[in-house]
């Protein structure tokens, strides 16, 4: 490799590292007391509508959210609430080069690629909207700065967990506790 190419590559790497450092990623999830965000068949019927309202407000305030391809496919089936109506930029993560996305959605190939797109759009804060597989991918890559969890008064023995099984661990610092109707909202900072 010639010296100019090496310099260009290391400049790019530095730019990516600066971008990742200046980007704040807030993970939001609504779950049962035991950490389930959807049934095994992907339904979220046990969650009250307030959770969607909280998500919609956070997404529009932040202006940009990121979701996994599976979550995108599931939410698309909902009759009353869906991602389409939200006034925010929507980034869907899939390993596929050509995911089938409706107009107005941006596709990304990895968590870092999603943040790169958000940064190019001028965002420094983004909301990570799940599901459990993508949440874990972001956690594993050390990309989550804050976690907001709405705890629904419900237990469910089986289902999709807020974090799919992966190897990562982080200490959290409790920043806020709020009661929203019957829901307890916890806000944490991820210590890195």
Ligand X SMILES: NC(=O)c1ccc[n+]([C@@H]2O[C@H](COP(=O)([O-])OP(=O)(O)OC[C@H]3O[C@@H](n4cnc5c(N)ncnc54)[C@H](OP(=O)(O)O)[C@@H]3O)[C@@H](O)[C@H]2O)c1
Between residues 134 and 190, which has the closer beta carbon with respect to ligand X? 134
Cα–Cα distance between 114 and 44 in angstroms, integer?
Answer: 25
Is beta strand 89-93 parallel, antiparallel or unpaired with respect to 146-151?
unpaired
Six-digit token pair at 62? 């932040």
90 by DSSP, 3-state: which? Answer: strand
Q: Is 95 in the site for ligand X (CB under 6 A)?
A: yes
Between residues 7 and 78, which has the closer beta carbon with respect to ligand X? 78
Q: Is 126 in the site for ligand X (CB under 6 A)?
A: no
CB-based contact 41:149 (threshold 8 Å):
no
Q: C-alpha distances in angstroms, 170 versus 137, 152, 173, 190?
A: 14, 23, 10, 7
Q: Which residue in the set 25, 66, 134, 190 belongs to the binding site for ligand X (CB under 6 A)?
A: 134
* All residues at 6 or more sequence positions from 51 whose CB lies less than 8 Å from its CB, including other chains: 30, 150, 152, 183
Least CB distance to ligand X at residue 188 (A): 15
Six-digit token pair at 109? 């190939």
Q: Which residue in the set 64, 65, 88, 94 belongs to the binding site for ligand X (CB under 6 A)?
A: 94
Helix, strand, coil: what percent of the chain each, to 5? 35, 30, 40
The site map against ligand X for 158-177 (x = CB under 6 A) is --x---x-------------
Between residues 11 and 40, which has the closer beta carbon with respect to ligand X? 40
CB-based contact 162:132 (threshold 8 Å):
yes
Least CB distance to ligand X at residue 76 (A): 10
The stretch among 3-11, 120-128, 132-140, 168-176 that binds ligand X (CB under 6 A) is 132-140
165 by DSSP, 3-state: which? Answer: coil
Q: Which residue in the set 23, 88, 111, 144 belongs to the binding site for ligand X (CB under 6 A)?
A: 111
Segment 10-69, which members bind ligand X (CB under 6 A)? 29-30, 37-38, 42, 44, 47, 68-69
Least CB distance to ligand X at residue 184 (A): 14
Which residues of this protein are in contact with ligand X, per CB under 6 A?
Answer: 29-30, 37-38, 42, 44, 47, 68-71, 74, 93-96, 99, 109-111, 129-134, 137, 160, 164
């Amino acid at each position: 490799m010639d010296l100019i190419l090496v310099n260009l590559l290391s400049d790019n790497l530095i730019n990516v590292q600066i971008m990742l450092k200046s980007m704040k990623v807030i993970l939001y999830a609504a779950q049962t007391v035991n950490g389930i965000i959807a049934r095994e068949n992907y339904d979220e019927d046990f969650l009250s509508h307030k959770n969607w309202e909280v998500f919609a407000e956070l997404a529009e305030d932040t202006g940009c959210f990121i979701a996994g391809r599976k979550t995108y496919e599931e939410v698309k089936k909902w009759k009353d609430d869906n991602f389409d109506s939200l006034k925010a930029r929507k980034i869907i993560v899939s390993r596929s080069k050509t995911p089938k996305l409706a107009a107005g959605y941006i596709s990304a190939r990895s968590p870092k690629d999603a943040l790169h797109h958000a940064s190019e759009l001028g965002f420094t804060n983004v909301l990570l909207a799940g599901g459990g597989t993508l949440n874990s991918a972001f956690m594993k890559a050390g990309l989550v700065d804050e976690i907001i969890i709405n705890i629904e008064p419900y237990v469910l023995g089986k289902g999709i967990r807020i974090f799919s099984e992966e190897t990562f661990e982080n200490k959290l610092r409790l920043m806020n506790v709020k009661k929203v109707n019957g829901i307890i909202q916890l806000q944490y900072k991820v210590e890195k």
